[in-house]
Structure 1
Amino acid sequence: MKVIAKPVEMVLWTDINGKMNPIRFKIANEDESISVIKIDKVLTIDREKLAGNNMLVYKCQSTIKGAERLYELKYEFSSCKWMLWKL
């Protein structure tokens, strides 16, 4: 997987305990078009501290352009922002 670190727009739902469950996200491509990627499966959810910022790391799987792909999404607690970290 290659580090991308691009911000994304996320659609998710939360359960009664506040656990976030991502559904799909939008990302801007290099040619300025927008791609919507549906998250087929969340494999793991981990906590990490990167440069002093607490983050949740979601390892996910989706079908992108006809192929199964693994990738990582990160949620930063301090800014409440999502990013596509690795693809």
Structure 2
Amino acid sequence: MVEIEVVSLCDLEGHTKPLRFRVIENKESKIIKVDKVLFVDINKYLSFSPQVYKCESVIRDQRKVYELLYFKDENKWKLKR
């Protein structure tokens, strides 16, 4: 997993939706637009477990599916490929 910067939207009910994120690979910054959130897994019983967003983006003309994890207690996002 790699730590990332995320731009997200919070609605009035407190639901979070990632819009795009920045990942740094080989000293190069890439911004990826989240085209679709396929699934959200929020474990309400364990406060320390991350919120998992299974997402889809088109990157270099290829559809990619990946997971973004939001660690609410740390206020950090991570990318799981």
The TM-score, its normalising length taken from structure 2, stands at 0.90
Question: 1:40 matched to which residue of 2?
Answer: 35
Question: 2:14 matched to which residue of 1?
Answer: 18
Report deviation, 1:53.
2.5
5+ residue gaps in structure 1?
Answer: none
Q: Aligned letter for 1:43? A: L
Report deviation, 1:27.
0.3
Report deviation, 1:64.
1.1
From 36, 49, 53, the counterpart of 1:54: 49
Q: Would you tell me which structure has more strand in proportion to its own residues? A: 1
Q: Aligned letter for 2:24? A: A
Report deviation, 1:47.
2.5
Question: 2:73 matched to which residue of 1?
Answer: 78
The TM-score, its normalising length taken from structure 1, stands at 0.84
Cα separation, 1, equivalents of 2:20 and 2:56: 11
Question: 1:8 matched to which residue of 2?
Answer: 4
- Percent identical pairs in the alignment equals 35
